[in-house]
Structure 1
Amino acid sequence: WIDALPDGADAPTTLEDLTDPIYADQLVVMSPESSSPGLAFLLATVNGTDDWEEYWADLVANGVSVTAGWSDAYYGEFTAGGGDRSIVVSYASSPPAEVIFADPPVDTAPTGVLLDSCFRQIEFAGILAGTEHRAEAEALIDFMLTPTFQEDVPLNMFVFPALETAALPAEFVEFAEIADDPQTIEPAVIEANRDAWVERWVEIVLG
């Protein structure tokens, strides 16, 4: 929350910035054990820092707070929910939501996006193996991939559509920020290492 940053502090622009003492006690994150944004942020640090374990030790030393889920962080400890922390792990699509739901209305987003920390998170829909309603399930998936459905996704789920040709709402065009080169890790590498990474994170952060 830009206006709630400590006096003299500019908005952070890199992952390393979050370990700067000027942002002490300002960051709230979610546990990767129980939160998909929390896991995505952990993966961003695994991929985007020289030594992710040392990085998290530095965050702990700088007063990072951990919640079980996104709602606890965003509507609890983060400024938007009346908390005293100005930096939260969230989605790159949060600024449009903050403009749309602002009361009183605002002309500019009160938050920014730390693009260096963005990890590409893809949400899926699938069909259960062995279903007795395969045709109906396929029809639903097909409908979900139509422009009608995809163009309805941003303002209902506040995520970007999967269909590249889907038109974005004006609020997303004006206020959303998209990382040109988001953090990514091959799915097979995540699958092979996720449990060990999370266990090590627990040791470092939660003790």
Structure 2
Amino acid sequence: MSVHDRRIELALDPSAGSPRHQALVQAGRLVGAVENTLRALGWAPRTVIAGTPEARPLAVVAGTRRRPAAPMDLARRRVNRYQGTGASPRYAAPADQARVVDVAHAAGSRGAWLHLLNGPTRDGNPAWHSPGSVPADTLTLDLPWRRDPVMAVCTHTDSAREAVVAGIVVESATVEAALRGLHADVYVDAFDDESVRAAVLLADPRETGVGHAVLRLRP
């Protein structure tokens, strides 16, 4: 990462060779965290993402104009600061349907969305209820499918840019979940396998695309 006034450039380490999929998603999470910080500091962020993983920079986030921080911008920044510390959300609560739908709506953006893997959808929204159902393809993930909602972050195509966008949505979803009293456990490693990414939406006749990560929502 390099900083030039209000312009932040991010690139992957070229000495590491061809980047794995998870590196692109994690880079997207960092982009999302930078965007949250700029909003909390009173700037409207503008993000440009390159089309190839070898590009330097891979992503640029700039504070383009002043915009007063809204109360939710400040709340998201406070939550963002505690990500990875193990701190519990202030109001821990089970993941009911309303919370799951709210997280999906608030986090989806830029052509990426959250798809419920262990329950039905209604008008495109996750219709979560407990106990959940075990999907036909568990994507090599050993999760408590019946107890907690599990959502995949999906995009229409499988490209480097879409993987970064998926990472931004992963970061947004973890923050939005915490604001609603939930933890979001993130699983990315399995999606280095192209066949796993392609399998996420195969069982749903209404949606097409690929998956980049999975989030389990829990108290």
Question: TM class by shorter-chain length?
Answer: under 0.3
Structure with the largest fraction of strand: 2
TM-score with structure 1 setting the length = 0.28
Larger radius of gyration: 1
